[in-house]
Amino acid sequence: MNLEAFAKAVLLGKTIEEKLTDPRLINWDESLEYQPQRFFEPARHETIGFSDEQVKFPGKGALAHKKERAKALHFFANHELLAIEMMAQALLLFPQMSLSQKKTLVSTIADEQKHFSLYVQKMNEYGLTFGELPLNRFFWSFMEKIHTEDEFFAVISLTFEQANLDFANYYRGIFEEIGDLEISEILTIVYEDEIRHVARGKHELTQKIKNTEKDLWEYYCELLPEPLTPTRAKGMVFDQKGRQKSGLSSSYIKSLKDYRNDFSITKRKQWKK
């Protein structure tokens, strides 16, 4: 299949099998030409469809119970599936990306597919099937605000994936603490891959500004569509090491660490002047 067919199988296929279409099936010698295409929502079979029903992520204490751990895995797996679908949408939305950008994005999809499968396998062992609990569309809802590939890398890689360094790091510690080393190992795999995914986003944006006066932090902030702010690129802990490993500069890391969500307050002050 060509790249377009692959992206469509992942985004518009309704089953888990289609979402997990093997990227090695892509024939890169086939045409890479297609029109930009935007889809309202990923297609999903009703058993894995989106729901507006809110489910609370289990608290630290509750994770001692396998049932609650399975629930946590269900959340993690949905995030992976959303990442897979958003990356497939980006491939379809930005046909002008270079061959190497497309190949990199496809290899990131392969990682997300691996993460999804690892979570689902463990969840199944704990007696839960993917789709048994409500699945939210939260991350997908930002897709409609993304109009350029740079905005995509800012929102996905440098915001959500970067925040996942903190989440993955935090939760692997918790699962280790409660003695579930298998989940903790999965989270370590996810964490290590996420460092590379953040690095990829950083690389894409750095390429764009290399002959300009802009620095990455400034460019990143410019690209974020409202209501997203850099606060979303952080979790409950701040993983300095992972960010350094992904190649982010110490000044970028410091700007993010120090960033406070005070935009509306600043705006109000200016308004009063």
Provide the binding-site residues for Fe ion, judged by CB under 5 A: 80, 112, 115, 161, 197
User: Which of 80, 93, 81 lies closest to 150, judged by CA?
Assistant: 93
Residue closer to Fe ion (CB basis): 131 or 201: 201
DSSP per residue, 4-73? HHHHHHHHH--SHHHHT--GGG--TTS---------SS----GGG-B-----PPPPTGGGGSHHHHHHHH
Residue closer to Fe ion (CB basis): 22 or 266: 22
E strand or H helix at 100, and its extent?
helix 99-125
E strand or H helix at 187, and its extent?
helix 181-209
In angstroms, what is the minimal distance from the CB of 77 to Fe ion?
A: 10
In angstroms, what is the minimal distance from the CB of 79 to Fe ion?
A: 7
> Backbone phi, then psi, for 39, in 5-degree steps?
-115, 140
Q: Using an 8 Å Cβ cutoff, are 245 and 236 in contact?
A: no
Give the CA count within 13 Å in the CB-facing half-sphere of 189. 14
> Letter for the amino acid at 68?
E
Residue closer to Fe ion (CB basis): 80 or 166: 80
Residue closer to Fe ion (CB basis): 185 or 215: 185
Residue closer to Fe ion (CB basis): 80 or 151: 80
In angstroms, what is the minimal distance from the CB of 183 to Fe ion?
A: 14
In angstroms, what is the minimal distance from the CB of 248 to Fe ion?
A: 15
Residue closer to Fe ion (CB basis): 114 or 208: 114
In angstroms, what is the minimal distance from the CB of 201 to Fe ion?
A: 9
In angstroms, what is the minimal distance from the CB of 16 to Fe ion?
A: 16
User: Which of 56, 83, 52 lies closest to 68, judged by CA?
Assistant: 56
